[in-house]
Structure 1
């Protein structure tokens, strides 16, 4: 008998398996075309067990997005606490995001694609993106102390959208090395931010 059938997962382990299966399904089929049956099968559980953890596909999608976003923000916050100078910390933050894109391309596609056919899921995606913008704005305060809140928020929105755009491009054109993409971001954003602080 398959050892996976014999071994009983903890609720936390089962939830992690569901999230992983959901990321693969959403990345492969898109939110609208993904079926809960496919997620249950991918996670190795029954559909009723899936609904025990998540009452709807929308609730599952929210949990997936929050999990991805929170992991990214935790990376950024750790870098912001480092003793390096502002430019080095900014570079490491950009590199950490692009490392995520490189190492977890399915999760990156799920995070960066707003569903088109389900207004509730689209709103969930936008709300998670707004949380990411707020996190970036908080990180920017460590680079740009004294900036007005509106300037931090506007810069964070610009950076987030720019990073997302270049990440999607890179996923579709995987030739350049990560370090080269980091340099593009530094040249097009950090230099301008730096000038505004003078």
Structure 2
């Protein structure tokens, strides 16, 4: 991939054949770096991945990476924070518009946008000592959000808590599996199928 870097402007990039050049704004550049980092971290893990690896994944120099992120740890955390923020944003958008398949659709939308970042948040981060607390805290907040499905359905506190955790796990696992097995063209079919299964479970746990 053709690359150029100047002291004044780190946003210049070239096409793969070294031809047409375009400029990236700061936000777009940071997004590009985060996506490249998510891919590299998901593939090799935090310890085994260097800033040089991230730079190579993005097709830029390590100096450009460091202009946007102070450290490898800051970059990994930025990926997690971006994905978690997008899940919150997407959930609010769908909730406000009363869209169907709310919870699973939220996760799949964000997972399609950034599959490696989604995997990093839900699969890999919890196994990284530096980021396990963040991953666990986000999962706990997600469990509390999922509890809304069982309001006025389950009275027993232990069952209520278990049902919320089980349901969140079902949602995340189903989306991760679909990323591996399905295609974007089949997403609508998947969402209908997965939502039916989810609500069958939720309704089966109602305590009258």
Match of 2:13 in 1: 4
Conserved 8 A contact 1:65-1:128? no
1:157-172 alignment to 2 at 5 Å?
157-172=165-180
Tell me, which stretches of 5 or more residues in structure 1 are unaligned? none
Deviations 1:112-143, CA, capped at 9 Å, x for gaps: 21347641122332233334345545xx28x8
User: Which deviates more, 9-18 or 118-127?
Assistant: 118-127
Offset at residue 51 of structure 1 (A): 2.2
Conserved 8 A contact 1:30-1:115? no
Q: Which has the higher contact order (CA 8 A, sep 6+)?
A: 1
Residues 1:146 and 1:170: Cα distance change in structure 2 (over 3 Å): closer
Offset at residue 15 of structure 1 (A): 0.8
Q: Secondary structure at the match of 2:124?
A: coil
Superposition CA RMSD, Å: 3.5
Whole-angstrom CA distance in 1 between matches of 2:176 and 2:138: 18
Residues 1:57 and 1:134: Cα distance change in structure 2 (over 3 Å): farther
Alignment of 1:96 with 2:109, yes or no, is no
Alignment of 1:21 with 2:29, yes or no, is no
Match of 2:7 in 1: none
* TM-score (norm: length of structure 2): 0.68
Residues 1:44 and 1:185: Cα distance change in structure 2 (over 3 Å): same
Match of 1:186 in 2: 199
Higher helix share: 1
Residues 1:103 and 1:186: Cα distance change in structure 2 (over 3 Å): farther
Offset at residue 59 of structure 1 (A): 1.6
Alignment of 1:107 with 2:122, yes or no, is no
Deviations 1:145-189, CA, capped at 9 Å, x for gaps: 8999x7876654333222122233334444984132222222122
* TM-score (norm: length of structure 1): 0.71
Match of 2:130 in 1: 120
Conserved 8 A contact 2:126-2:136? no
